Chains A and B, each alone.
Chain A
Amino acid sequence: MKGDSIVARSASKGLHALPCSRRGLSFQPMLAKWLRTLQLSVKSLLLHPMRSALTVLGIFIGVSSVIWLLAIGEGISRASQKQIESLGARNILVRTIKPTSDDFQDGGYGLTRADYLRLVSTIPQVDVALPIRVLEGEFRFKTRRIQGRIVATTPDYASVTQLTLDTKYDTEERKSRFLSDADMDENRNYCVLASEVAEKLFPYGTPLGQKVLVEDMFYEVIGVMRFRSPSAGIGGSQAAEDFSLDIYIPITTLWWRIGDQVVTQKPGSFSRDIVEVSQITLRVKEDDATDEEANVLAVADLVRETISRYHTLNDFAITVPLELLQQARTTRLMFILFLGLIAAISLVVGGIGIMNIMLATVTERTREIGIRRAIGAKRRDITSQFLVESVVLSLAGGALGVAGGLLCRPLSIWLREGLKKFYPEQMAQLPQLIQEVEPQLVTWSIPLAFVISVAIGVVFGVYPAIRAAMLDPIEALRHE
Chain B
Amino acid sequence: MFATETLAASIRELHKHYHLGGETVRALQGVTFDLPEGDYVSIMGPSGSGKSTLLNLLGCLDRPTSGEFILGGRDVARMNDDELAETRATRIGFVFQSFNLLSYLTVVENIEQPLYYSGRLNRLARRRCVELAEMVGLGQRLDHRPTQLSGGQQQRVAIARSLVNDPRFILADEPTGNLDSATTVEILDLLQNLNEEGRTIILVTHEPEVANRTKRTIMLKDGQVVMDERR
Give Cα A381 to B113, complex, Å.
Answer: 12
Q: Chain B 162-201 against A: per-residue CB contact (8 Å), 1 yes, 0 no?
A: 0101100000000000000000000000000000011100
Check if B82 sits within 8 Å of A26, measured CB to CB.
no
**Is the Cβ of B61 less than 8 Å from the Cβ of A473?**
yes
Q: Cβ of B116 and Cβ of A36 under 8 Å apart?
A: yes
Mark the stretch among B42-50, B66-74, B118-126, B205-213 that contacts chain A. B118-126
Q: Is B229 an interface residue (CB 8 A)?
A: no
Choose among A11, A25, A367, A378 the residue that contacts B82 (Cβ–Cβ < 8 A): A378
- Chain B residues with CB under 8 A of A144: none
Task: Please tell me the number of chain B residues within 8 Å of chain A, measured between CB atoms.
Answer: 47
A373 within 8 A of B: yes
Closest residue of B by beta carbon distance from A374: B94
Q: Is the interface of B mostly helix, strand, loop or mixed?
A: helix
Q: How far is the CA of A477 from the CA of B104 in the complex (A)?
A: 17
A43 contacts B104, C-beta separation under 8 Å: yes
Residues in chain B near residue A1, CB distance under 8 A: 166
Closest residue on chain A to residue B119 by CB atoms: A29
Interchain CA distance A15-B128 in the complex, whole Å: 11
B142 near A20: Cβ-Cβ < 8 Å: yes
The complex places the Cα of A477 from the Cα of B127 at a distance, in Å, of 29
- Bound: A47/B199 CA distance, A: 37
Q: Are B85 and A373 in contact (CB under 8 A)?
A: yes
CA distance A22 to B44 in the complex (A): 44
A375–B157 CA distance with the chains assembled, in angstroms? 14
* Interface check A2, CB cutoff 8 A: yes
Residue B34 interfacial (CB < 8 Å): no
Distance of A148 from chain B, by nearest CB (Å): 79
Task: Decide if A376 touches B100 in the complex (CB within 8 Å).
Answer: no
Contact of B121 among A7, A32, A37 (CB under 8 A): A32
Verify if B56 is at the interface (C-beta below 8 Å from A): yes
Set B94, B104, B122: member contacting A375, Cβ < 8 A: B94
Residues of the B chain whose Cβ atoms lie less than 8 Å from the Cβ of A3:
166
CA distance A51 to B83 in the complex (A): 36
Which residue of chain B is the closest to A36 with respect to CB atoms?
A: B116
B132's closest neighbor in chain A, by CB? A6
Check if A375 sits within 8 Å of B114, measured CB to CB.
yes
Q: Are A378 and B123 in contact (CB under 8 A)?
A: no
Given contacts A18-B130, A375-B113, A376-B88, contact A26 B123 (CB under 8 A): yes
Given contacts A15-B134, A25-B123, A43-B104, contact A376 B166 (CB under 8 A): no
Decide: B197 and A5 in contact? CB cutoff 8 A. yes
The answer to whether A7 and B131 have CB atoms under 8 Å apart is yes
Q: Check B134 against A376 for contact (C-beta < 8 Å).
A: no
A444 within 8 A of B: no
A29 contact set on B, CB distance < 8 A = 119-122
Query: A33–B120 Cα gap in the complex (Å)?
Result: 10
- Mask, A2-26, CB within 8 Å of B = 1, is 1101110111000110101001111
Q: Are B131 and A16 in contact (CB under 8 A)?
A: yes
Assess the A2–B114 pair: CB atoms within 8 A. Answer: no
| A407 CB within 8 Å of chain B | no
Asked whether, in the complex, the Cβ of A379 is within 8 Å of the Cβ of B128, the reply is no
Please tell me if the beta carbons of A33 and B121 are within 8 angstroms of each other in the complex: yes
Is B88 in contact with A6, judged by CB distance below 8 angstroms? no
Choose from A2, A36, A367, A381 the contact partner of B166 (Cβ within 8 Å).
A2
Cα A21 to Cα B201 with chains together (Å): 35
Does B214 make an interface contact (CB < 8 A)?
no
The answer to whether B122 and A26 have CB atoms under 8 Å apart is yes
Closest to B199 in A: A2
Q: Please, could you name 21 A-B residue pairs with CB atoms under 8 Å apart, sorted by A?
A: A3-B166, A6-B135, A10-B132, A10-B134, A16-B130, A16-B131, A16-B134, A24-B123, A29-B119, A32-B116, A43-B104, A368-B102, A370-B100, A374-B96, A375-B88, A375-B114, A376-B117, A377-B85, A378-B82, A379-B85, A474-B61
* A residues with CB within 8 A of B: 1-3, 5-7, 9-11, 15-16, 18, 20, 23-27, 29, 32-33, 36-37, 40, 43-44, 47, 367-368, 370-381, 473-474, 477
B contacts, CB < 8 Å to A: 56, 59, 61-62, 81-82, 85-86, 88-90, 94, 96, 100-102, 104-105, 108, 113-114, 116-123, 126-132, 134-135, 139, 142, 161, 163, 165-166, 197-199
